Amino acid sequence: MKSALSIMALTSLLALSANPARPARAQEPQSAVPDAPAPQAPKLTGNGPITPGAGTTAPGAATTPAPTTSSSSFAPAAPVAQQPPATPAKTEEIDTPAAGEGVEAVAKFSVNVNFVQVPVTVKDSKGNLVAGLQKEDFRIFEDGTYMPTRVFTVDPFPLSIAFVIDQSLTSDVMAKVNASLDAVQGALAPFDEAAVFTYSNGSKEWTTFTGAQGKRLPAVLALAKAIGTDMQVPTNSGPFAGCNIRKNGDCVDPNLQPGRSAGNNSFMTIPKEIHTLNDAILSAAKELSARPKDRRRIIYVVSDGKEYGSKASTKEVIRYLQTNKIAVYATAVGDSARWGEGYVSRLHIPLTMYDNILFKYTAATGGDLDSQRGTNGIEKSYAKITEEARAQYTLGYVTHRSIYDDRYRKIEVRAARPNVEVITKQGYYPSSQDK
């Protein structure tokens, strides 16, 4: 019995000597298994470019690789500290008006100004332009009431000029006008612009406004030349009255056939001439009304002044011109340019054709009328009238009439100089463009 116990004790001692550092199994501590790290949302740092797999980095910042964790480490991940919110960029403070104040501030800049601009030409007794006048030399009256001059300038204005050429002139007069058209461009300045209209039985626009010194204007003027008309006097009595040339029993010219459209069996109605001057001026005025306000709006008419057959009346066209600040200048040719006859032709017999109405347009709008019979005189009138339109005195005043009162307002301008002629528009109608 004792020998068996001794053998067991010896065996235990041999086992301890073989592994002396290993503690007893019962005393080994249990290592706790850590929890899996919580998923974290990816963070974007910096404003630099996005690199696949690396996120964003700030421009110029060095990229540091993230530390790797050993797969054998089971230590719990350290909680990620929440970064404070980014401070907003400092912006400039804007004084925003309170509710209702913005509308009031805008209304302060929307002001209705009753400003009236009056171009004035002053000539001496010989018809020469008078220069050197000052603001104190002029007095403006509207409907008989004195208006203080608020604006005065002698600076030249660029011209927007619409040429209206009469093609119903006789062939000899038309030839002189055609020869003079080559001098039109020489009367204009580089900053001017021009359009071309013609009329006979109806008006035609050859070109809208183009540069005065461009190649288009002389080309269009060359195309606008016409041969004119040869007026024949039909007879309404005698052996040559009626239709004396027949074909198959019918009159060759129905205008000369008695009893039809030209009269009856006892007399023949003389055909009437057609000169649509009013319609041509109105067509040019419509184009001019769209030009900028800082330009002189001018219609230049080359005609004998005859008017018959227009759809628009002279009174209606003049009102349109006075509303849109358009002045009419004209060179009278043909019979209206003869001395003495030019004044007689202004008289009108009821139920007949108007022989000359150019003076009505020029007087009502503040323009001027020149009479020339030869080619050389017509060429000089282009330069004379354009110089006159450019070298005007520009006056301005503020009317006391309401801008919503569309009645006609008469204007009178007086100059404190003896023996001078003051040329300006007779009056105006307020326009919606001024409101």
Confidence band (pLDDT; 50, 70, 90) for 72?
Answer: very low
Q: 122: part of which helix (H) or strand (E)?
A: strand 115-123
8 Å CB contact between 289 and 324: yes
- Quote the CA–CA distance of 278 and 316 in Å, as a whole number: 9
Average pLDDT over residues 396-423: 91
- Quote the CA–CA distance of 433 and 112 in Å, as a whole number: 11
Confidence band (pLDDT; 50, 70, 90) for 68?
Answer: very low
Average pLDDT over residues 200-213: 94
- What pLDDT digit, counting tens, does each position of 106-122 carry? 444 444 568 899 999 99
- Classify each residue of 356-372 as buried b or exposed e, where b means 16 or more C-beta atoms within 10 Å of its C-beta: bbbbbbbbbbbbbbbbb
The reported pLDDT for the residue numbered 124 is: 92
- What pLDDT digit, counting tens, does each position of 82-141 carry? 555 554 544 445 455 555 555 444 444 444 568 899 999 999 999 899 999 999 999 999
- Quote the CA–CA distance of 199 and 282 in Å, as a whole number: 11
How many angstroms separate the Cα of 116 from the Cα of each of 109, 189, 391, 425, 427?
20, 27, 19, 12, 11
